[in-house]
A and B are shown apart, each in its own frame.
Chain A
Amino acid sequence: MIYLYVGIGGFIGASLRYLVGVLLTGPDQWFPYSTLAVNLSGSFILAWFTIGLVERYALSAEWKAALGTGLVGSYTTFSTLSMDAVLLYERGDLFLSSLYVFISIGGGLVLSLLGFHFGKRRNAAC
């Protein structure tokens, strides 16, 4: 049954990711900022959700799987990130490709850490 919850979360998460892509993709796509936007925001949300909401509201395993693993897990993606870096490199933009990977590494860690502390602080306040 938990598989179904993860699947439903995945349905919503992947659709949301595609929507953000549609909204953020211009005709002159020189930099894959839609993948970046999705991944960075999702890193913050997952850390905040896992540390803040799950513990605070003692959410069940089903909810945790549906929202965390399914929805946010599918909203963010790693395969597109890898391919974005490869395609930038193939286009001859080694600098942009490196910058993209660098922002993903650093930005993702910082936002995940922020979400973690944000969730912890909210917990302490209760």
Chain B
Amino acid sequence: MLIFKLLLVGLGGFCGAILRYAVSRWIENRKSSTLPTATLIVNIAGSFLLGILIGLDLTKTWFLLCGTGILGAFTTFSTFKLEAIQLHINKRWKGFIYYVLASYFFGICLAYTGFKLGRWFML
């Protein structure tokens, strides 16, 4: 049933990628800061939501669609690293350090918070 699982994840990926693109464009049109805040917001929000999903202990099928698919594609690692490298290459050290630290710190803290929240709902 690998093909069925791939289709589920793919379908979620389709939605997640479009969502990321839409949210990023929406944020970029509204912000005045020169830091890549769009990717930062998408990544930490997605980490929080995935924490909730894992805490809720969904069935495998639902998790493939919503977790691996939608939230997996909604958040991104490659764009985040490329933006960080571009800050580094343009010698914007403060922005570079701030961007990297904020992503990991808030991403992990919010994933943890979401996870605990999901667990609490299951009680």
Contacts and interface: CB of A to CB of B under 8 A. Distances in A.
Q: Do chains A and B interact in one complex?
A: yes
Interface of A: 2-3, 6-15, 17-19, 21-22, 39, 42-43, 45-47, 50, 65, 68-70, 72-83, 85-87, 89-90, 101, 104-105, 108-109, 111-113, 116
Contacts, number: 184
A18 to B, nearest CB: 4
B111 A79 contact: yes
A78 B77 contact: yes
B3 to A, nearest CB: 10
Given A7-B15, A47-B82, A73 B72 contact: no
Contacts of B5: 18
B104 to A, nearest CB: 6
Contacts of A113: 85, 88
A108 B11 CA distance: 27
Interface of B: 2, 5-7, 9-18, 20-22, 43, 46-47, 49-51, 54, 64, 68-69, 71-82, 84-85, 88-89, 100, 103-104, 107-108, 110-112, 115
- Chain B binding site: helix, strand, loop or mixed by DSSP? helix
Contact of A14 (B10, B77, B78, B80): B10
A50 B82 contact: yes
13 contacts: A8-B14, A15-B6, A15-B13, A18-B6, A46-B78, A47-B85, A77-B75, A78-B103, A82-B47, A82-B51, A109-B84, A111-B81, A112-B81
A99 B76 CA distance: 20
Given A42-B78, A43-B82, A86-B112, A78 B43 contact: yes
A120 to B, nearest CB: 10
A43 B77 contact: yes
